[in-house]
Structure 1
Amino acid sequence: MNDQIRQIAERLRGLREALEMNTEEFATRAGVNQTEYERYESGNFDIPMSLLFGVAQTFGIDTTELLAGETARASVFFVTRKGTGISVERRKAYKYQALGAGFTGNKSEVFEVTVEPGDKAISLNSHTGQEFNYVLQGTMQLHIAGNDLVLYEGDSIYFDASKPHGMKALNGEKVVFLAVIL
């Protein structure tokens, strides 16, 4: 795994230790089983953005603290200039840019997500809440709750994020979309 994931895992561990919780207690509050949480905390496995968002909400911190080790400070507005969002590369095929990371007390998380083309199967994930995706560039296959949908530039979808979902770029070209997690 990359160094960025290890750093996020260290911040997760640091938060858990600061709260004086064992891994079982923390995992339960975070909504995952203990074994799965321990895998994430080890820094050797991809950590879902949905888990980080849920941990931040559950324990009353900003996602920025977990992603970047910084505290969000803006409370009236926060501007993210093109290409300057906090970048999180979780997997080779996915790149996330947090677009509202400097705003404190977020009610949602907004990401620009770039998915590179590839032949790998869609990796499914689920989390509490809802999600909105808007395709900015390219064509995306979205698998959700057993359904396969194709979204084109300008298309959007709003869905129950607790249902298993995942996406992949189509036509040998990258897809770029906005993802809003509520």
Structure 2
Amino acid sequence: MLSETLAAGLEQYKIGAKIRTLRLKKKLGLAQLGEHTGLSPAMLSKIERGQLFPTLPTLLRIALVFGVGLEHFFVEGSDRPTIAVVRKEDRLRLPDRPGDAPSYFFESLDFPVTNRRLQAYYAEFPAGSQASESHQHDGAELVYVLRGRLAISIAGDEIVLEEGDAMYFDSGAAHSYRQEGPSACSAMVVTAPE
């Protein structure tokens, strides 16, 4: 059984509708398509109506009948906006580094989107955690503190952000994060590559 997030991620590609369009363009009935693919008409009908998502081998069998590649089913049309919903319960929580006492934990807020123009994360900095390792990457970064206090060191300068504060900076400069004060901190971090 697929989670709501995975189902929503697959639904955005409208694979069933694309198969139906190809089938009708070739003037094939479900039974005829079934004969060519070895799949039952009932299964093909469920796939076309979006009640069942085909496995890649099944989708490849269908693609071969129509002479298209698998990418045909995953390329989004230019007239459709990209939409992805990430449910809280479906996010994966990861430490900033493996091993003992991570500086922070993060969760991707946009992982199902391909070809992202930005990347957004929810980050939690436990009380008493050590500063993260200094790092840098191309582009820009925006940090918005949701709770607590967060110290950000950029190229040797340290700026302390309070709850509700935001900061934009060139992420090509070496930077690190550190929870500040007696309580845990949480923030939203958005990075945008150049």
- Give your verdict on TM over 0.5: yes
Query: What are the Cα deviations for residues 13-68 of structure 1, in whole angstroms up to 9, with x where unaligned?
Result: xxxxxxxxxxxxxxxxxxxxxxxxxxxxxxxxxxxxxxxxxxxxxxxxxxxxxxxx
Tell me, in whole angstroms, the C-alpha distance in 2 between the residues paired with 1:90 and 1:104.
22
Q: Is the 8 A contact 1:110 1:178 kept in 2?
A: yes
Provide structure 1 residue ranges, at least 5 long, that are not aligned to the other structure.
1-71
Q: Which amino acid aligns with 1:157?
A: M
Q: Is the 8 A contact 2:150 2:179 kept in 1?
A: yes
Q: Which amino acid aligns with 1:167?
A: Y
Q: Which residue of 1 aligns with 2:171?
A: 161
Deviates more, 1:156-165 or 1:76-85: 76-85
Moved over 6 A (4+): 72-75
Q: CA deviation at 1:85?
A: 2.0
Q: Which residue of 2 aligns with 1:79?
A: 85
Relative to the length of structure 2, the TM-score reads: 0.52
Provide structure 2 residue ranges, at least 5 long, that are not aligned to the other structure.
1-73
Relative to the length of structure 1, the TM-score reads: 0.55
Tell me, in whole angstroms, the C-alpha distance in 2 between the residues paired with 1:179 and 1:73.
28
Q: Which is higher, the Rg of structure 1 or of structure 2?
A: 2
Tell me, in whole angstroms, the C-alpha distance in 2 between the residues paired with 1:103 and 1:118.
34
Q: CA deviation at 1:82?
A: 2.7
Deviates more, 1:110-119 or 1:83-92: 83-92
Task: State percent identity of aligned pairs.
Answer: 26
Q: CA deviation at 1:88?
A: 2.0
Tell me, in whole angstroms, the C-alpha distance in 2 between the residues paired with 1:121 and 1:135.
16
Structure 1's 121 and 79: CA in aligned 2 closer, same or farther, altered over 3 A?
closer
Q: CA deviation at 1:127?
A: 0.9
Structure 1's 153 and 177: CA in aligned 2 closer, same or farther, altered over 3 A?
same
Query: What are the Cα deviations for residues 119-141 of structure 1, in whole angstroms up to 9, with x where unaligned?
Result: 63452111111101100111011
RMSD: 2.2
Tell me, in whole angstroms, the C-alpha distance in 2 between the residues paired with 1:167 and 1:149.
10
Q: Which amino acid aligns with 1:80?
A: V
Q: CA deviation at 1:90?
A: 2.8
Q: Is the 8 A contact 1:93 1:117 kept in 2?
A: no
